Amino acid sequence: MKILFKSLITASFFVIGLATSSFAANEWGIDGEEAKELDGTVVDLACELSGNCPDNCGAGKRQLGLLLKDGTLYPVVKGGSNFAGGTEELIEQCGKSVHVDGLLITDPLMTIYFVQRIRSEETGEWSKTNQWGKNWKAANPGKKLGRWFREDPRVAKIVDESGKLGIPGLVYEEE
């Protein structure tokens, strides 16, 4: 009976954990962060501000934002992949209304949004923002996504030219 009880407790924690990770934004403990679902239109930030508007929000080459119904504009600076932004997560929704989940970070210096999940208008299903990783994997077959920042040829070229510290010839000697 005791074993059964323990199993039930363990299972319930597992289910709660699964539900938490599946149905809410993952909090990072950042000062000023707030887990927040937003409804808005995906816009090209440069277009929205300056009126310079290429087709399709710049086709993934321009930073995107969420324009809320009340006119508030949030830049989407981060997506679900490590060290990666949010543009590739939202570019398919350029000019369209979206419902997203993530972290709104309100800092005295800047307010930014970290998009973690997008809800499909058709099915209501949530999907994680991992498109950047999928695209990188497709462009770099055989390389490990988990180490993309070590294996990306663009990173390697910069490190070859100017080193890890940004100054050619300067090397950090770990003590």
Partner 1 sequence: MNRKLSNIILSVVYPLMIKPIRLLPGYFIVIAGIITANGAVVSAATSPERVQVTGEIIDTWCYVTEIMGDAQGTAHHLCAVWCAIGGIPVSILGEDGQIYMVLKVESEDTNVANPTIVNIQTHKVTVDGDLYERDGVKYLFVNQVADDQGVVNLNHEDYGIIPFGK
CB of 17 to partner 1, least distance (A): 23
Q: Residue 5 interacts with partner 1 (CB under 8 A)?
A: no
d(CA 161, CA 20): 44
Choose between 48 and 126: whose C-beta lies nearer to partner 1. Answer: 48
Query: Judging by beta carbons within 10 Å of its beta carbon (0-12, 13-18, 19+), is residue 67 exposed, middle or buried?
Result: middle
Q: Residue 81 interacts with partner 1 (CB under 8 A)?
A: yes
Q: Are 10 and 2 in contact (CB under 8 A)?
A: no
Q: Residue 174 interacts with partner 1 (CB under 8 A)?
A: yes
d(CA 137, CA 148): 9
Q: Residue 154 interacts with partner 1 (CB under 8 A)?
A: yes
Q: Rule CB under 8 A: which of 115-134 touch partner 1?
A: 132
d(CA 72, CA 63): 16
Q: Are 88 and 131 in contact (CB under 8 A)?
A: yes
Choose the stretch contacting partner 1; rule: CB under 8 A; options: 19-27, 35-43, 86-94, 116-124.
86-94
Q: Residue 26 interacts with partner 1 (CB under 8 A)?
A: no
**How many positions of this chain bind partner 1 (CB under 8 A)?**
54
* Token couple for 173: 């000697």
Q: Which of 8, 15, 19, 49 binds partner 1 (CB under 8 A)?
A: 49
Q: Which of 26, 56, 75, 119 binds partner 1 (CB under 8 A)?
A: 75
DSSP 115-160: EEEEE-TTT--EEES-HHHHHHHHHSTTS-GGGHHHH-HHHHHHHH
Which parts of this chain interact with partner 1 (CB under 8 A)?
28, 30-31, 33, 45-46, 49-50, 52, 54, 58, 60-63, 70-75, 77-79, 81-88, 105-107, 109-112, 114, 132, 149, 152, 154-155, 158-159, 164-167, 170, 172, 174
